[in-house]
Amino acid sequence: MAEKKEENNTEEVFHAEVVNPDEFLNPEEIVGSVNFNAEEILKPEEIEVVPEEIEVVEAERLSFPYDEERMNWLKLLLDSYQRMDTGVDLGIRLEAEKRGKKLACHKGCSSCCITHGEIPVYPLELVGITWYVTEKTGGEKRKKIRESLEKHQPGDPCPFLLDHECSIHPMRPLACRQFNVFNKVCEEGEDAYYTRPEDVLRPLKTYIQDAFNFTLPFYGVTDEEQRLIILETGKHHKMAQPMQNMNWKTLIEKMDAWDLSKN
């Protein structure tokens, strides 16, 4: 789903406080900072064979010119998401071409958002979600998100699933973007990752590595060699936390502060 319209009309600079990027500025500290293994969940396909006849179609990149101008991290995140979306699209077409698999996921199908117990979310992604919810949602949707966040307890399913749809779809994390299932729709309560892993899309390594590579400058990792080491060893996955366990109350405070500043 593309979000092309420039909606912002404020001069305020957004400061993300849900996560503190300073904690991640030293790449050495990435290792072992969080006791959660996202690596398994976001493990790329090792063998990548893309037949020449399958064309790479660049996914549409979301565009928020005003916000990207004032917040450099947003550029990184949107580039990352575009790269992942391109790789996912290619991966889906590859599976169809090579193994005749048909994508089961479709709009309104969302039981995976409830079933998954641990959806990895990375600090930069949290900043993106915070910005999007705080500054880019309004009306009834904003009200419903706020209510959902208020009710949310650690361990509950993702609070952004509303009326069977992702309310932060343009800013959904990489893990959500990549999770696609073939052949048949998941049954209620089924986690296809465990019940039929052969039907779950494995993202192409080049694309998933690139997607994470785009985000590394946010964590202070700009040296090319260091970036490659982090990506190859999977150290960046140590920064992820399960989406369901986040303290979303901070986000409510930010939403309220934003609303107050507009009145």
Q: Residue 106 Cβ, how far from ligand SF4 at the closest point, in Å?
A: 7
**Residues 59 and 87: beta-carbon distance below 8 Å:** no
- The two beta strands, 165-166 and 161-162, are antiparallel
Of 94 and 112, which has the nearer Cβ to ligand SF4?
Answer: 112
The closest of 173, 124, 118 to 23, measured between CA atoms, is 124
Of 186 and 251, which has the nearer Cβ to ligand SF4?
Answer: 186
Q: Residue 12 Cβ, how far from ligand SF4 at the closest point, in Å?
A: 25
CB within 8 Å of 102: residues ≥ 6 apart: 96, 182, 183
Q: Residue 104 Cβ, how far from ligand SF4 at the closest point, in Å?
A: 4
**Residues 80 and 214: beta-carbon distance below 8 Å:** yes
Of 76 and 174, which has the nearer Cβ to ligand SF4?
Answer: 174
Q: Residue 111 Cβ, how far from ligand SF4 at the closest point, in Å?
A: 4
Of 77 and 192, which has the nearer Cβ to ligand SF4?
Answer: 192
Q: Residue 192 Cβ, how far from ligand SF4 at the closest point, in Å?
A: 6
- Footprint of ligand SF4 on this chain (CB under 6 A)? 104-105, 109, 111-113, 119, 158, 160-161, 166, 168, 172, 176, 179, 181, 185-186, 192
Of 29 and 191, which has the nearer Cβ to ligand SF4?
Answer: 191
CB within 8 Å of 26: residues ≥ 6 apart: 220
Cβ neighbours around 168 below 10 Å, total: 21
Which tokens in the block code for residue 115?
């079933």
